[in-house]
Amino acid sequence: MITTSKRLEGIGEYYFSQKLREIDELNKQGQPVINLGIGSPDLPPHPEVIRTLQEESAKPNVHAYQSYKGSPVLRKAVSEWYKTWYQADLNADTEILPLIGSKEGIMHICMTYLNAGDQVLVPNPGYPTYRSAVKLAGGECIDYDLKEENNWEPDFEQLENIVSGSQKGAVKLMWINYPQMPTGQLPGRQLFERIIAFGKKHNILICHDNPYSFILNHHPMSILSIPGAKEVAIELNSLSKSHNMAGWRIGVLCGVKERIDEVLRFKSNMDSGMFLPMQLAAAKALQLPKSWYDEVNAIYTNRRKKVFELLDLLQCAYDTSQAGMFVWAKIPAAYKTGFELSDEVLYNTRVFITPGGIFGNAGNEYIRVSLCSPEEKFAESIHRIKEFSPAVKDK
């Protein structure tokens, strides 16, 4: 009998992978579902980015394997982008590692640094892939709570208690993510400074996942802009959200040379680099002016107003200052969990919104709505929910 490896024990199929199959079945019944769940940008990249890909792909000498460290052109563009937007200095030759998506980078980091039984601090609520990658690498996830009353920031007293209750050196990594997903909480400089000090005090590698910093946010931040951060922190970034290039799978790991070289030891055994024309197109994307981000955010601003209207119909509570391409909202008291509200809306209105519990049990009383649909889809969702809203309100 063929069996799966023990490392897959406790690792289920990704929630959205399962849910999309269910949505497909509902679609086949003749009542199309409006999917407001997944953060996959529906807008295209800038025309110049597409043009660069087309022109470079037509050249005969760009189809070979590429450097494991990525094109110097792309690394230089990343360095300049970090300097321009984050005021962070990165050596293009030694401190930047292009990746085939930052989600893959999460796995690379866990496989590079974790031995069986090593502990990792994981945010609750937080991106589910942190937990999966830690487990697949043989590590142990230790939740640290993010709470609304604490502005979705870590409770440093809790963090100290976790470390003091573990064997010395057992906690190897800490995953953080600001602007935070799913809550949309923006970082402040003081928060990053406290996290860096905590990492230094306990010799914990701080892994900052930073794909949302340009969406509905006028002041993008990188943890690497904080003095001394490179001693203890690395950062993942991505063009998926900021440049509408999710399907291109272009990410980057930034950090001090030693960390880059360590992760490269694992990564170079897993892939053979990215298609060169895609790297050159990505470099073009990173050179876009402020007007690009302003145009994208103007669209998301209008969509977010529609989402607020939708959430008002569902009697949910939310913070209007959230960043990122989602809106995080607390469910009304009539519902026990976001799963219950999500399913009720899906089965009665054919509108799918994400239950907050998929991000950890701290998200059980919340839902998340994606901004990655055109305004007419939100208008239709509002129309459907209005027809159903009396049942929602009377529940």
pLDDT band at 4 (very low <50, low <70, confident <90, very high): confident
Residue 1 resides in a domain = no
- Neighbour count for residue 20 (Cβ, 10 Å): 16
Range of the domain at 390: 6-44+291-394
pLDDT tens by residue, 208-235: 999 999 999 999 999 999 999 999 999 9
* Share above pLDDT 90 across residues of the chain, in percent, rounded to a whole number: 88
Residue 220 resides in a domain = yes
pLDDT tens by residue, 257-295: 999 999 999 999 999 999 999 999 999 999 999 999 999
Place of tokens 């529940």: 395
Arithmetic mean of pLDDT, 79-91: 98
Residue 50 resides in a domain = no
Tell whether 322 and 192 lie within a shared domain: no
Q: What is the reported pTM?
A: 0.94
Q: Which residues pair with 98 in a beta bridge?
A: 252
* Residue 248, H or E segment: none
Tell whether 258 and 134 lie within a shared domain: yes
Pure H helices in the chain: 15-28, 47-57, 72-81, 102-113, 128-136, 156-164, 189-202, 257-267, 276-286, 290-313, 338-349, 375-394
Tell whether 178 and 307 lie within a shared domain: no
pLDDT of residue 391: 45
Tell whether 371 and 354 lie within a shared domain: yes
Which sign, positive or negative, has the C-alpha torsion 216, 222, 227, 233? Answer: positive
Tell whether 182 and 127 lie within a shared domain: yes
Tell whether 107 and 177 lie within a shared domain: yes
Are residues 341 and 331 in contact, defined by beta-carbon separation less than 8 angstroms?
A: yes
CB crowding 205-223: b at 16 or more within 10 Å, else e: bbbbbbbbbbbbbeebbbb
Residue 374 resides in a domain = yes
Residue type, 289: P
Tell whether 270 and 301 lie within a shared domain: no
pLDDT tens by residue, 14-45: 777 777 788 888 888 888 999 999 889 999 99
Residue 38 resides in a domain = yes
CATH code at 318?
Answer: 3.90.1150.10
| Cα distance between residue 259 and residue 381, in whole Å | 46
CATH code at 251?
Answer: 3.40.640.10
Whether pLDDT at 371 is above 60 = yes
Residue 359 resides in a domain = yes
Pure H helices in 58-114: 72-81, 102-113
Residue 238 resides in a domain = yes
Work out the mean pLDDT of the chain and round it to a whole number. 94
* DSSP per-residue codes, 156-182: HHHHHHHHHTS-TT-EEEEEE-SS-TT
Last residue of a domain, one of 235, 252, 286: 286
Arithmetic mean of pLDDT, 88-97: 98
pLDDT band at 392 (very low <50, low <70, confident <90, very high): low
Place of tokens 């962070």: 88
Which of these, 370, 385, 383, lies nearest to 307 by C-alpha position? 370
pLDDT tens by residue, 57-71: 999 999 999 999 999
Residue 122 resides in a domain = yes
Last residue of a domain, one of 268, 286, 304: 286
pLDDT of residue 15: 74
Tell whether 363 and 245 lie within a shared domain: no
Tell whether 269 and 237 lie within a shared domain: yes
Are residues 127 and 359 in contact, defined by beta-carbon separation less than 8 angstroms?
A: yes
Tell whether 81 and 161 lie within a shared domain: yes
Token pair recorded at residue 263: 């992760």
pLDDT of residue 390: 47
Last residue of a domain, one of 265, 286, 307: 286
pLDDT of residue 18: 78
Tell whether 192 and 68 lie within a shared domain: yes
Tell whether 280 and 317 lie within a shared domain: no
pLDDT of residue 389: 67
Q: Domains in the chain: how many in total?
A: 2
Arithmetic mean of pLDDT, 86-111: 97
Whether pLDDT at 395 is above 60 = no
Please give the angle made by the CA atoms of 354, 360 and 362, to the nearest 5 degrees.
100
